[in-house]
Structure 1
Amino acid sequence: MKLVVVTAGLTQPSATRLLADRLTEAVTRRVAEEADVHVVELRELAVDIAHHFVTGFPNARLRAAIEEVTAADGLIAVTPIFSGSYSGLFKSFFDVIDNTALAGKPVLVAATGGTPRHSLALEHALRPLFAYLRAVVVPTAVYAAAEDWGGGGDAFTDGLGERIARAAEELAALLRDRKPGNEADRRPGEETDRRPGDEAGERLVPFEEQLAALRPAR
């Protein structure tokens, strides 16, 4: 099971990377098998992404990052919030990915910011972005403000851990459902061994026969 983490933190150390690490650890604890985790640090790809917009072609390093993201079984995407939305670097990276490449892929979205007032950016910016890319975004999005990092286990001040646990369980459940052989892993239109009418031992009547039965007798 391949889990890819995209983090758009600009500083080192970064609160965005710290949140990404906590989410990754929570998800990997919950999946039924050992996860192969890859982290994509967008800060290291900023120049490569800019060159892609100018030339129209990704270089080897950016292409490798894109291939990791598109080949992942699940994705954790974390961005700092600037001016009430995701960072330009975060958006630019997902702009260079084909808009069909993430179709059906489970995604956990998260963000960091200086104040809780920007938490709705997850709903009005990040969730619509991944909905456009046709990814499957887990119900719980995780926002961490500066004050969230000071909690000491108090249920009234340390809600970040609870949000991380809930979001991680939702993503882990989707990842488990995508394991080969599960119904969720089959492509639309792919046949299964079970057909309508099997439960009652009935034969599936072809549509042509049904039409013939409706014709008046001569």
Structure 2
Amino acid sequence: MKLVVVSAGLSVPSSTRLLGDRLAAAATGQAPADVQVIELRDLAVEIAHTFTHGFPGRALSDAFDAVSGADGLIVVTPVVPEARLDDVSASYSGLFKSFFDALGVTDPDVLAGKPVLIAATGGTARHSLVLDHALRPLFSYLRAVVVPTGVYAASEDWGAEGLDGRIERAAGELAALVSGLSTVRPQPRRDSFEEVTPFEERLAALRPAG
């Protein structure tokens, strides 16, 4: 299978990229796969130009082709807190959203039916609801098949108990979903040529022996 990791991290090194790498490693540990990583920070200018020019540049077009040809996606974004008094609400980054907006403009159906594992990184565990309040609705709208377990990693989660288990569970769900879809094959029709018994043979079976 082919997995594509879409990382919207901006820093180098990036905890967002690290989480994507760990999810990909866990998935390939359960089902062999080729992994390609798309770093959105390298495509920021071309993403912006897509909306002004009406078509993607070469590097962005290659990224779109990779997403289109993937058997499954791992998408990871840093959390952007929203200016609210509750200090809980947060969403995906603008770069992350712009990439998938531009992808949708190019091919509105590209993610339909495609398995997607959603993940995010942030500075505080209070923003973990971003998975269900922002990411899951986005990919449901794009008609992707979002795996049940999303992974959120706050600063205090790195090296702490619990993150590894969530990574393994989510990666296992993605690997199982991708493997299951890839093994689905159309069943032969019962009236196919190979299954038709010649009339002469059926008639002979009805005749009394001797």
Give the match for residue 215 of structure 1.
none
Give the Cα separation in 1 of the matches to 2:189 and 2:134.
41
Instruction: List per-residue Cα deviations over 1:195-214 (Å, max 9, x = no partner).
Output: 6xxxxxxxxxxxxxxxxxxx
Q: Over residues 95-125 of structure 1, what are the superposed CA-to-partner deviations in whole Å (9 max), with x where a residue is unaligned?
A: 0113311110000000000000000011010
- Structure 1: any 5+ residue segments left out of the alignment? 152-157, 187-191, 196-218
Q: Is the 8 A contact 1:16 1:79 kept in 2?
A: yes
Alignment of 1:119-198 (within 5 A): 119-151=128-160, 158-180=161-183, 182-183=184-185, 192-193=187-188
Give 1:1-218 correspondences, 5 Å limit: 1-31=1-31, 34-83=32-81, 84-97=90-103, 98-151=107-160, 158-180=161-183, 182-183=184-185, 192-193=187-188
Task: Output the CA distance in 2 between the equivalents of 1:40 and 1:77.
Answer: 10
More helix by share: 2
Contact 1:122/1:143, CA 8 A, preserved across alignment = yes
Gaps of 5+ in 2: 82-89, 191-210
Cα distance in 2 for residues equivalent to 1:120 and 1:144 = 11
What is the letter of the counterpart of residue 36 of structure 1? D
**Aligned residues, how many?**
179
Tell me the equivalent position of 2:84: none
Q: Percent identity?
A: 65
Q: TM-score, normalised by structure 1?
A: 0.80
Q: Is the 8 A contact 1:78 1:109 kept in 2?
A: yes
Q: Distance in 2 between matches of 1:130 and 1:194?
A: 35
SS in 2 for 1:172: helix
Q: Give 3-state SS (helix, strand or coil) of 2:5's partner.
A: strand
C-alpha RMSD of the superposition? 1.2
Task: Give the letter aligned to residue 125 of structure 1.
Answer: A
> Structure 1, residues 171-213: CA drift from partner, whole Å, max 9, x if none?
0101111224x25xx5xxxxx3266xxxxxxxxxxxxxxxxxx
Kindly indicate whether the alpha-carbon contact (under 8 Å) linking 1:99 and 1:132 is maintained by their aligned counterparts in 2: no
